Amino acid sequence: MTQVRGTARHTELFDALVELLLAEGFAHLTLDDLAARLRCSKRTLYALAGSKEQLVRAAVVHFFRGATGRVEASLDDSRTPEERIAAYLRAVSTELAPASARFFDDVAAFAPAAEVYERNTRAAARRVGELITDGVAAGAFRDVHVAFAADVVTSVTVRIQQRRVAAATGLADAEAYDHLASLLLHGLSQP
């Protein structure tokens, strides 16, 4: 019972930590700041991770693990290939929407967090490639070079992750995913 309570408390702390980091970023926060904001001791934070850097990385992993599950779940009610791609990319957008520009800037500047974001970005792009393949096979999409389309999605998503799209267009990451979904769907539609 104590283990279950401890695990629930850790999950609750990670959820609160993720919410804080998404809203405010993390580079400027110390462990003392985090402990005070989360209303816990530094010892409690050290039980989650051995350093601020490890804690931030663990929180980013926690965020993406939850987001990935919710994004995949968004496909459950989608029937057509068009609906599946739109649902997938819009769910990515929804998951990223609460994240501030400061959070994304901090992630981009902190290699361990950037690696987690990049790994998840590439996995999402691969998943979109699978959805495109399914749509082409079903005859819902015109016959496109799937590897090329997936590479375009990967390139754009990596540029979003690296903050290059934000710098070039002023779009927030979530907005960029919405526009990517629209562009992709129009490009795949049968003439």
DSSP string, 92-150: HHHHHTT--HHHHHHHHHSHHHHHHHHHHHHHHHHHHHHHHHHHHHTTSB----HHHHH
Which tens digits make up the pLDDT trace of 96-122? 888 898 998 999 899 999 999 989 988
pLDDT attached to residue 6:
59
- Total tally of structural domains belonging to the chain: 1
Distance CA 170, CA 167 (A): 6
pLDDT attached to residue 29:
95
Contact 116, 56 (CB under 8 A): no
- The CATH number linked to 115 is 1.10.357.10
pLDDT, averaged across the chain: 88
The Cα angle at residue 174 between residues 141 and 12, in degrees rounded to 5? 120
- pLDDT grade, residue 190 (50/70/90)? low
- pLDDT grade, residue 191 (50/70/90)? low
Mean pLDDT of all residues in 114-136: 90
Which tens digits make up the pLDDT trace of 34-61? 999 999 999 999 888 999 999 999 999 9
Q: Residue 113: inside a domain, yes or no? A: yes
Q: Residue 4: inside a domain, yes or no? A: no
Q: Residue 24: inside a domain, yes or no? A: no
User: Can you read off the two tokens belonging to residue 60?
Assistant: 């980013």
Is pTM, for the whole model, over 0.95?
no
User: Can you read off the two tokens belonging to residue 10?
Assistant: 């850790």
Distance CA 114, CA 107 (A): 5
Q: Residue 93: inside a domain, yes or no? A: yes
Q: Residue 175: inside a domain, yes or no? A: yes
Instruction: Count Cβ neighbours within 10 Å for each residue of 48-62 and write b for 16 or more, e otherwise.
Output: bbeebeebbbbbbbb
Measure the N-to-C terminal CA separation of the chain; round to a whole number of Å: 60
Q: Residue 39: inside a domain, yes or no? A: no
Q: Residue 14: inside a domain, yes or no? A: no
- pLDDT grade, residue 168 (50/70/90)? very high
Q: Residue 13: inside a domain, yes or no? A: no
Contacts of 16 (CB under 8 A, 6+ apart): 38
Distance CA 11, CA 16 (A): 9
Domain that includes residue 109, residue range: 52-188
